[in-house]
Amino acid sequence: MGKKTKVALAIAAASAAAWAGSKAISKPQKREIKDVLQFNRPIVLAHRGGSHLAPEHTMIAFKKALDLGVDGFEVDIRLTKDEEIIVFHDDTIDRTSDGAGFVKDFTLNELKQFNFGYHFEDLDGQFPYREQKADVVTLRELFERFPNTYINIDIKDGPDTYEGSLMPSKLWRLIEEYNAENRIVVTSFYSEQVDRFNLYAQNRVALGAGEADVRKAFTAFTSQFGHLYHPKVDVFQIPTKSGVISLDSSKFIAFLSKLNIPVHYWVIDDTEAVQRLIENGAQGIVTDRPDIIVPYLQQLQSEKEES
């Protein structure tokens, strides 16, 4: 046996011993399932209120989506100049009527002057809200108008900004004020923001995976050391792909499901994709077209119950 072969065998033996040792002392730690995530069927969340059917993040959109039968909303939040939390995706207000500049540079009263539906184009290519004004919506207003609705909240202000540094504590205080702990998921592209929020929430609110959480989980899944992965979030709301990496395989979904972590995919607007994801084990769909996805999932559920 050559020297290189002996070295390779020694490395393989050491790796196997390390794997066996870690397997013996480490047990996967399942998350306790939060109330807001306890569904016995796949759910539908309206992306920004269902942004292909009405101006995104407006009361018009939220009302329409709820009338269509969604289980909840997926919203983004930002902080205004006077430190009010609004539901809004972009960092600028350039898509409003006559509005330009950063959200952080406007007070709530100033933002109320703009039409947030001005540039919305409907499925027929029309601009129906140029005459009908659509106001900016605060998270407080959303809580008050829809007191029993599941809301997935995505913190958009980054942790290295002034607004982002304030957001976790302000968000927690608002959730606590409305006793909304059991109907909210808080997430962010920035895993650090989720961690900061949880310093206040102390696991009393369901947490969504940030980019670093997704990367860590997928790395564990594709390695021999998946048993060492101990999640600190309660739900993955992710795209089907990240670059060239597919995140929608049945095995990856099963890996997370065994840890009591449901997987929701965004933004899905066609029924073929929905069927494939549900067959793979997805437990939630985030969509801009609840008018298509809600009845389709209801049909799938009915067929499942009859079979």
Domains of the chain, earliest start first: 41-89+138-306 (3.20.20.190)
pTM of the model: 0.89
Q: Give the pLDDT band (50/70/90) at residue 18.
A: very low
Residues 218-240: pLDDT tens digits?
999 998 776 779 999 999 999 99
Q: Is the pLDDT of residue 28 over 90?
A: no
In angstroms, the Cα distances linking 212 to 30, 68, 217 are: 19, 34, 9
d(CA 157, CA 189) in angstroms, rounded, equals 10
In angstroms, the Cα distances linking 241 to 210, 214, 247, 290 are: 15, 11, 5, 22
d(CA 297, CA 305) in angstroms, rounded, equals 12
Residues 257-299: pLDDT tens digits?
999 999 999 999 999 999 999 999 999 999 999 999 999 999 9
Please measure the distance between the N-terminal and C-terminal CA atoms of the chain and give it in whole angstroms: 60
Cα-Cα-Cα-Cα dihedral sign, residues 275, 69, 292, 246: negative
